[in-house]
Amino acid sequence: MPRPRKWRKVCCLPESNRFGPLNTAPDSENYVVMTVDEYESIRLIDLEEFTQEECANQMNIARTTVQAMYNDARKKLAESLVNGKVLWIEGGEYRLCDGGGEACGSGGCRRHRCGWDFSDTMDRSE
């Protein structure tokens, strides 16, 4: 029996969870799904300029896990950009932080300024 996956700490859900070409219909099957934890690795490493080690500490997971997640996320971004696919951000093995961690309040955590909820999103089938 495999070991259960460890929850990844995510500071905030993205304000938008769908990106892509403007000329693609919303009901198109031409999409790529990025998990929320993969999104968080992109946000921390590329936007906040964390190292993979700092990202791992922020998300409370191993650096090797961050490296694999980050590589998967970059591949999905490239597939979306190069092949003109819609990028959906949803799902994953994550829990939102409570804002009380030692790294919270630093440059990496923006929980206090987020309020977006995925329940307001459109279903891909619409």
Question: Is the predicted pLDDT of residue 126 greater than 80, yes or no?
Answer: no
Question: Is the predicted pLDDT of residue 95 greater than 70, yes or no?
Answer: yes
| Segment 48-66 mean pLDDT | 95
Tell the residue number behind the tokens 């490493």, with chain if given: 45
Q: Which residue has the higher pLDDT, 108 or 17?
A: 17
What's the sign of the alpha-carbon dihedral 13, 114, 79, 38? negative
Span 61-75, pLDDT tens digits: 999 999 999 999 999
Least confident range from 47-51, 82-86, 111-115: namely 111-115
Q: What is the pLDDT of residue 30?
A: 85
What is the residue extent of each domain of the chain? 8-12+32-116
Calculate the average pLDDT of the chain.
80
Phi-psi region of 105 (alpha: psi -120 to 50; beta: other; left: phi over 0): left
Least confident range from 49-53, 69-73, 88-92: namely 88-92
Q: Which two tokens stand for residue 101?
A: 């961690």
Question: Is the predicted pLDDT of residue 111 greater than 60, yes or no?
Answer: no
Q: Are 33 and 105 in contact (CB under 8 A)?
A: no
CB atoms within 10 A of CB 17: 18
Q: What is the pLDDT of residue 102?
A: 54
